[in-house]
Amino acid sequence: MTDEGCPWVSFVVRKTRLQIVQDPSLNYEYLPMMGMKSFIQAALELLFGKHSQAIAEKRVGGVHTVGDSGAFQLGAQFLRTWRKNLKTVSIISCQKEQYGLIFQDMGFTVYEYVIWNPKKLCTDTSMFFEAMEHTPADSILVIGNIIDCRFSKNQWTKLMSIIKKKQIFPFFDIPCQGLSTGNLEEDTRLLQYFVSLGLEFFCSQSLSKNFGIYDEGVGVLVVAALSNRNLLCVLSQLMNYVRALWGNPPATGARIITSILCNPALFGEWKQSLQGVVENIMLIKEKVKEKLRLLGTPGSWNHITEQSGSHGYLGLNYQQVEFLTTKKHIYVPKSSRINFTCINNRNIDYITQSIHEAVMLTEG
């Protein structure tokens, strides 16, 4: 969000949009069902890196989808038909994710694990492994936002052995690459690890948020397969579902993104704008923390700046959230996870003062 409360749009996106519209040579024909080929290629290179071995081996591919809902819908339809042994879905994330319903509607049994520890005020790696223990064999494992989970080498090995033993099918969610840490590679660390081991998985890659094209819903269902042959089989089956779901994906968003990703100068500008956004978010968090410190609000507020990304937990309890909602008209969800980009110079004093009052009242 900008200071004016409007959704952020990268300047380079505005520029590219204008260039595209003025191009008289553009052909407005239907896209293929698979989507825009150059867009998928560029998106894969963004996700796995330009020199990714998996791309060179042609065992990763993708289908251009309508946003991340479309990617989950498409992937879930495929798994329901072609992996009939997978009957349950475990969703592990530091926040409540919305994909549960998609799987539930298709008849999967869904377990959701939010691995935010409200006592320790951090994303809790041990909660992650507890969730993994509870996950039944032959499950789909949706790995949401766990960027703040730092695994030790032992934990990595443990994770892989559970996945192999339980025959778990991973389904990643990469909703806003680059907007968590400001670093494109860092944000896909976990995924990189899986692909380097040659595992097969799906990944929902959304490009609406990190380009600021919310109104277009540009996504890719990324398929990592064991071999190129395997990949082609999966993609060809996916086409049948696409035909019934939306036929041909919309082009505008994909066209803008491809133009930026395939042009080194524009790509550089975009990367910088991402960093700018992330620095800005961190600045807001620092300011909130500092203001609470100056107000003398009880408790350490380090957890605010220790969380990556635009959203984060304030670490308030239900009673405190209720005070904010009913007395201060600050509508925070019960979990106290908020979008920090909605805090700006015009409302920060009111918000921090209100948090202070909430904490003082309930502490007392």
Q: Give the residues lining the site for a second copy (CB under 8 A).
A: 6-7, 9, 17-18, 21-22, 27-31, 66-70, 73, 98, 101-102, 105, 212-217, 240, 243-253
Q: How far apart are CA 173 and CA 193, in angstroms?
A: 15
Cβ nearer to a second copy, comparing 98 with 126: 98
Gap between the Cα atoms of 289 and 301, Å rounded: 6
Q: Which is nearer to a second copy, 200 or 216 (CB)?
A: 216
Structure tokens at 325: 């909602």
Cβ 63 vs Cβ 238: under 8 Å: yes
Minimum CB–partner distance for residue 44 and a second copy (Å) = 21
Angle, alpha carbons 190-191-197 (nearest 5°): 95
Name the 3-class secondary structure at 109: strand
69 or 192, CB closer to a second copy?
Answer: 69
CB 303 within 8 A of CB 121: yes
* Shortest Å distance, C-beta 270 to a second copy: 15
101 or 283, CB closer to a second copy? 101
**Of 115, 109, 159, whose CA–CA distance to 139 is shortest?**
109
Question: Could you write out the DSSP letters of every residue in 23-73?
Answer: -TT---PPPPTT--HHHHHHHHHHHH-TT-HHHHTT-EEEEEEEHHHHHHH
When the beta carbons of 212 and 312 are compared against a second copy, the nearer one is 212
Distance CA 284, CA 279 (A): 9
CB of 299 to a second copy, least distance (A): 34
Give min distance, CB of 57 to a second copy, in A. 31
Q: CB of 234: closest distance to a second copy in angstroms?
A: 18
Q: What is the closest distance, in whole angstroms, from the C-beta atom of residue 11 to a second copy in the complex?
A: 12
Closer CB to a second copy, 18 or 265, in the complex: 18
Would you say 111 or 214 has its CB closer to a second copy? 214
212/315 with CB nearer a second copy: 212
Using an 8 Å Cβ cutoff, are 339 and 5 in contact? Answer: no
**Residue number with CB closer to a second copy (28 or 119):** 28
Q: What is the DSSP track for 165-191?
A: HTT-EEEEEESSTTTTTS-TTGGGHHH
Q: Could you give the angle at the alpha carbon of 93 between the alpha carbons of 92 and 94, nearest 5°? A: 140
Q: How far is the CB of 288 from a second copy (least distance, A)?
A: 24
Minimal distance in Å, beta carbon 354 to a second copy?
26
Q: Minimal distance in Å, beta carbon 269 to a second copy? A: 18
Q: End-to-end alpha-carbon separation of the chain, Å?
A: 35
Pair type for strands 201-206 and 218-224: antiparallel
Distance CA 259, CA 10 (A): 14
Give least dist CB 233 to a second copy, A: 19
244 versus 265: smaller Cβ distance to a second copy: 244
DSSP 136: P
Residue owning tokens 């990190």: 210
DSSP 186: G
